[in-house]
């Protein structure tokens, strides 16, 4: 009886994850269409169509590795990383915390590399915005000096 509770709990968690993603991400349903041709999950997906395959199982057309939703190579990976990265109340999470959050619910190969890439782009953008902001202040100050307002 304990084993059936574990299975029911796993099914329930998977359905909950899918329903949350469906409400938050427009077009999330189309993710299913990418599995068959996906470099990372195509073969696994084909093997799971009728039964579980190792740690992989299909539920509602979505592929899971245990309780983690498999994410094919699609722009949604970057979106999920950005969501996980920006979740902190005191700012953005670092690489380790972002990866930890993602690994709790999702699976894809080379996730760490994707997290590093997205976060480094995010950090570079913040630095660039600060540089531009400082240049605007300098230009404004120079304009005031030219007008003799200092």
- Please indicate, yes or no, whether residues 34 and 91 belong to a single structural domain of this protein: no
Quick check: 70 and 38 in contact, CB under 8 A? no
- Please indicate, yes or no, whether residues 48 and 84 belong to a single structural domain of this protein: no
**pLDDT tens-digit readout, 24-77:** 666 777 888 999 999 999 999 999 988 899 999 998 899 999 999 999 998 889
Whether the predicted pLDDT of 126 surpasses 90: no
The residue from 74, 96, 116 where one domain ends is: 74
- Please indicate, yes or no, whether residues 55 and 84 belong to a single structural domain of this protein: no
- Please indicate, yes or no, whether residues 91 and 70 belong to a single structural domain of this protein: no
State the Cα–Cα distance between residues 72 and 32, nearest whole angstrom: 9
**pLDDT tens-digit readout, 68-122:** 999 999 888 988 888 888 765 555 778 898 899 899 999 999 999 999 998 887 6
DSSP 40: T
Domain count, the chain: 2
The whole domain housing 59 covers: 1-74
- Please indicate, yes or no, whether residues 69 and 106 belong to a single structural domain of this protein: no
- Please indicate, yes or no, whether residues 80 and 70 belong to a single structural domain of this protein: no
pTM, 2 dp:
0.69
* Res 130: pLDDT: 60
State the CB neighbour count (10 A cutoff) for residue 82.
16
Classify 71 as helix, strand or coil.
Answer: coil
**Cα-based distances in Å from 34 to 8, 22, 62, 129, 136:** 27, 16, 10, 35, 45
């Amino acid at each position: 009886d304990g084993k059936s509770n574990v299975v029911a709990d796993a099914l329930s968690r998977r359905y909950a994850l899918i329903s949350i993603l469906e409400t938050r991400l427009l077009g999330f349903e189309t993710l299913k269409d990418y599995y068959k041709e996906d470099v990372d999950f195509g073969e696994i997906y084909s093997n799971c169509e009728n039964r579980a395959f190792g740690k992989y199982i299909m539920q509602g057309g979505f592929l899971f590795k245990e309780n983690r939703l498999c994410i094919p190579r699609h722009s949604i990976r970057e979106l999920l990383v950005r969501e996980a990265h920006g979740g902190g109340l005191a700012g953005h999470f670092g690489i380790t915390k972002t990866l930890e959050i993602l690994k709790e619910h999702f699976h894809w190969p080379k996730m760490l590399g994707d997290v590093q890439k997205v976060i480094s782009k995010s950090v570079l953008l913040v630095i660039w915005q600060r540089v531009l902001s400082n240049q605007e202040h300098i230009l404004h100050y120079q304009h005031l000096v030219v007008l003799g307002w200092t």
